[in-house]
């Protein structure tokens, strides 16, 4: 998919704050995080949404979501974690390359999951990516 931003990020053609990578996936920090440490799991092969995903890869993606969620709990002391995956514009999907959101949560953090995210400096992104990487 020549015009897909997440294909370019997943394949390393566009730089990202990567916290994890294997043969099938790259896990990056969301550019507009709902909370610091908000991760996105991106398959390296393009699939627009869950309906285009190979079933085995969906299973692998969810195992990886558990691994990332566990790292967010330990690295960031998150009390809770949201795992979200939107399919189609009607469901709130804005980038048509399958991805899973893994979002650290704390009591009273006031995150509402349908609002725009917050901005962070590159230093803040780098520091939080390092923390998560150290827990993986």
* Contacting residues toward ligand 5GP, per CB under 6 A: 5, 16, 28-32, 40, 86, 92-95, 117
Sign of the CA dihedral 22, 123, 118, 81? positive
Tell me whether residue 99 is one of the annotated catalytic residues. yes
Query: CA–CA separation, 136 vs 49, rounded Å?
Result: 26
Smaller CB distance to ligand 5GP: residue 70 or 86?
A: 86
User: Which whole-number Å values give the CA distances from 46 to 4, 32, 91, 101, 121, in the listed order?
Assistant: 8, 22, 19, 17, 29
Query: Residue 4 interacts with Zn ion (CB under 5 A)?
Result: yes
Question: What is the DSSP-derived secondary structure letter of residue 135?
Answer: T
Per CB under 5 A, the segment of 1-9, 37-45, 52-60, 66-74 that binds Zn ion is 1-9
Question: Out of ligand 5GP, Zn ion, none, which partner does residue 28 contact, by CB within 5 to 8 A per kind?
Answer: ligand 5GP
Active site residues: 99
């Amino acid at each position: 998919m020549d015009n897909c931003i997440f294909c370019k990020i997943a394949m390393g053609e566009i730089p990202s704050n990567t916290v994890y990578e294997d043969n099938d996936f790259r896990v990056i920090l969301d550019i507009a995080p709902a909370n610091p440490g908000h991760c996105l799991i991106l398959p390296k092969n393009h699939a627009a949404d869950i309906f285009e995903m190979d079933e085995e890869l969906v299973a692998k993606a969810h195992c990886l979501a558990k691994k990332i969620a566990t790292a967010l709990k330990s690295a960031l002391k998150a009390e809770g974690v949201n795992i979200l995956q939107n399919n189609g514009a009607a469901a709130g999907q804005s980038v048509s390359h399958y991805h899973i959101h893994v979002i650290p949560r704390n009591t009273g953090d006031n995150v509402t999951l349908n609002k725009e995210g917050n901005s962070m400096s590159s230093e803040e992104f780098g520091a939080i990516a390092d923390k998560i990487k150290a827990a993986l």
